[in-house]
Amino acid sequence: MATVLHLPVFAYDPDPRFDDPAFVSDLYADRLRFTVTWPEVLAMAVRDGAASVHYHPWRTNATCDDVLSYVVGGTRYGLLAPDAESGGRLLADARRLAAPGPLARLRAWAVRGAVGRVRLVAASGESEWCVVHWGRGPLAGVEFLRLSPVPVAVPAGSPDAEPGAAGDRRGHSDL
């Protein structure tokens, strides 16, 4: 049985700080880190049609796009690396998602890893994912792999669109 995780809904509201080159420079100089949770990361991944999500905190010498990222259409998109406190929480929360319940968590601790299923519920619908938590300490990591197909957007008016969708003119006459 899969754990169910309800994802937040994001409205696109660009942060005006990103118009400031000094702010952006600080971000990429690793001076600023963000507090982040799995529901937020997974909501972005589902929204963008990702096939997988990756968290590799041990990649300390890599650019930030190698630490926390997701893959859409074969292209890896990096997210800003979380702060140390958020990173620890991401690992612990992923372990709880992969191994729900005390017995499963004990087994995951003993074998240094866990694999489980999670159902993500977003405004756009539900999707099934496999969550893999591996390792402990500095070599831990997390992978989320989509099991259900990525929904394909069908333009309104397309012959494949649902009848009655905006722009669908089947059954209507211009006469």
Note whether residue 154 is domain-resident. no
Evaluate whether residue 46 is within a structural domain.
yes
Residue 20 included in any domain? no
More confident site: 156 or 125: 125
User: How many structural domains comprise the chain?
Assistant: 1
pTM: 0.73
Question: For residue 169, what pLDDT is reported?
Answer: 46
**Is residue 98 one of the residues assigned to a domain?**
yes
Helices and strands, counts by H and E, the chain = 4, 7
Backbone angles phi, psi at 79, to 5 degrees: -110, 160
Does 111 fall in a domain? Answer: yes
pLDDT digits (tens, 9 = 90+) for 21-73: 777 666 665 555 567 889 999 999 998 999 999 999 887 665 545 789 999 99
Domain-embedded: residue 15: no
Can you give the CATH number for the domain in which 70 is found?
Answer: 3.30.450.90
Locate 63 and state its tokens.
């650019």
Domain for residue 106, yes or no? yes
Q: Which domain holds residue 70?
A: 3-9+35-146
Does any domain span residue 166? no
Give the per-residue pLDDT at 102. Answer: 83
Segment holding 96, helix H or strand E: helix 84-98
